[in-house]
Amino acid sequence: RDAGALERALSLAPGSANVLLAASDLSGALARSEEAVGFARQAVEVDPLNTRAHYRLGINLMRADRLEEAESAFQKVLELQPDRGATHLRLGLVELMRSNPEGALAAMEREIAPHWRTFGLALTYHALGRSADADRELDALRDTYGDDAAFQLAEIHAYRGEADEAFEWLERAHAHRDPGLTDVRGSPMLESLRDDPRWVELLGKLGLTG
């Protein structure tokens, strides 16, 4: 999104949840996590029944490593919309960030969206040391969704410490304009890649080095 256009939109419609969420997304993509949290929290205040606002708040709180608050935001999403996809996944990711793979598994198994359930289980089984199960879910994600899941496949490989495969999938995500790349600087699953020289090169391609 164009930053100048967002600034104009914020000045013209400061009470718009959609505009505040767009600003939050842009700040998150630029790794300005506290600013992203602030915009998302404003969106929640403007429209407290907006599940997308609570969901984005949760994601940005995760990026800021504020895990208890993130968990509360995702629980609020489920309170408002129990069948919202990817929310149990996010609760599972919070548990992985807490080094609690058993808790993550309980959350991932409740995820109703097949794509996100498979993604989450691939991460969680790896964290549990269940290599065969982790490989099965990884293969299922790749074989079923292919390049449509390129960013998630990169996250899994990075989480497993497989840097070459992770960068290969990130390049494929870039080639296919995968929207998941907006989370490339914020994803905790990509932490193992950040000291690799290819990381800065990738951010440069994406225009995210500022």
Coil vs helix vs strand at 139: helix
Two tokens, residue 170: 């990130």
pLDDT at 1: 46
Per-residue confidence band for 137, with pLDDT thresholds at 50, 70 and 90 = very high
Structure tokens at 132: 């065969």
pTM value is 0.90
Name residues whose C-beta falls within 8 Å of residue 106's C-beta, 6 or more positions apart in sequence.
Answer: 92
Give the pLDDT band (50/70/90) at residue 8: low
User: pLDDT of 82-93, one tens digit each?
Assistant: 999 999 999 999
Whether the predicted pLDDT of 3 surpasses 60? no
Q: How far is CA 157 from CA 59, 95, 119, in A?
A: 21, 19, 11
Q: What is the pLDDT confidence band of residue 10, given thresholds at 50, 70 and 90?
A: low
* pLDDT value of residue 6: 52
Q: Which residues contact 144 (CB under 8 A, 6 or more apart)?
A: 115, 118
33-46 vs 17-29: helix crossing angle, rounded to 10? 170
Measured CA to CA, the distance from residue 160 to residue 127 in angstroms comes to 9
Task: Tell me what the pLDDT averaged over the chain comes to.
Answer: 92
